[in-house]
Chains A and B, each alone.
Chain A
Amino acid sequence: MIKKAFFFNNEEGDILYVLRELTAFISPHCVERLGSSKLSNIKNIVVETLTNSIKHSGVKYCTLSCEITNDCINIVKTETGAPFIHSGILRWPLSDNLLSERVLLYKNNMQQLFVEAISSNSLAFFADDSDISDQPLELEAFRNFGLLIIARCSDSFTYTYDELTGINTFSMRVDL
């Protein structure tokens, strides 16, 4: 297992720098096993995770770590900004009745994003396809879909909020 951490100062202009650094770290170790579409997925995860940090965390920096194992690549973002909430549905600590119950976060006519509590302080995100038909994409619903992108690009996408330390941890796994 090899791992590297990247500091990000929550400035839009530096996304490209972190993206290039992380790609340069990954490529020599596993680019052949990863394939081009999964490498694209990782890049899109990185972009959206850093964008999410700029838009929602309210703090000056975050840390992104990348861990390569025999089976997968784990991307983990940590910061101490505002915890993830959604329209008053999610409060911390999460109530028991949210456990194993999927809450719809986003939907258009082709795909939807759900979140499910997996413990009192952790959530898992799931994206799936709605009825895919020949209809054009519903453009009116097409906004605030950064989390959908992360979920679609990941094999696993979870979020943990530690109330004691105030640390938010977003964890994305891409299988090799």
Chain B
Amino acid sequence: MIDIKDINDYTVTTINSAQANLKNAEEFKQEMIEVIDSGKHFVIIDFTNVEYVDSTFLSALVTVLKHAMKEKGDVAVYGLNADISNLFSLIRLDKAFKIFNSLPERFNSGSTD
């Protein structure tokens, strides 16, 4: 359910669904963990296509972040609509995830290249 694209020192995974909910949360989590386990430890998740997110999907998102952190990586989000952005700040997920309004030049701050 995600498209994968490498940009500079990070990877962008684009969610290909308008609904990020309990139906596709597990699939999303498994695909993201595969991305991280393949060595892509700095990932920005593109929510541009997503209309709403439910708590089950957010739990999966947190699991993905924890997995990346174990690998000394990081996960950020990009392209949140106003409703999802409001939800992130309401439940303090903005304290856990970096939120980008546009894709950055670089994301891996520890990169030496």
Contacts and interface: CB of A to CB of B under 8 A. Distances in A.
Interface of A: 12-13, 15-16, 19, 36-37, 39-41, 43-44, 47-48, 51, 54-55, 108, 110-111, 132, 136-137, 139-140, 142-146, 148-149, 152-153
Nearest to B20: A47
B83 interface: yes
B22 A51 contact: yes
Given A43-B52, A136-B95, A143 B59 contact: yes
Interface string B83-97: 100110011110110
Interface of B: 18-19, 21-23, 51-56, 58-59, 62, 65-66, 82-83, 86-87, 90-93, 95-96
B27 to A, nearest CB: 12
A146 B53 CA distance: 11
Given A36-B82, A43-B52, A139-B96, A149 B22 contact: no
A140 B19 CA distance: 25
Contacts of B53: 47
A167 to B, nearest CB: 24
B69 to A, nearest CB: 8
Contacts of A40: 82-83, 86-87
A100 to B, nearest CB: 27
A140 B63 CA distance: 9
B51 A16 contact: yes
A138 to B, nearest CB: 9
Nearest to B52: A47
A12 to B, nearest CB: 4
B54 A47 contact: yes
B52 A16 contact: yes
Given A40-B87, A136-B95, A145-B91, A16 B18 contact: yes
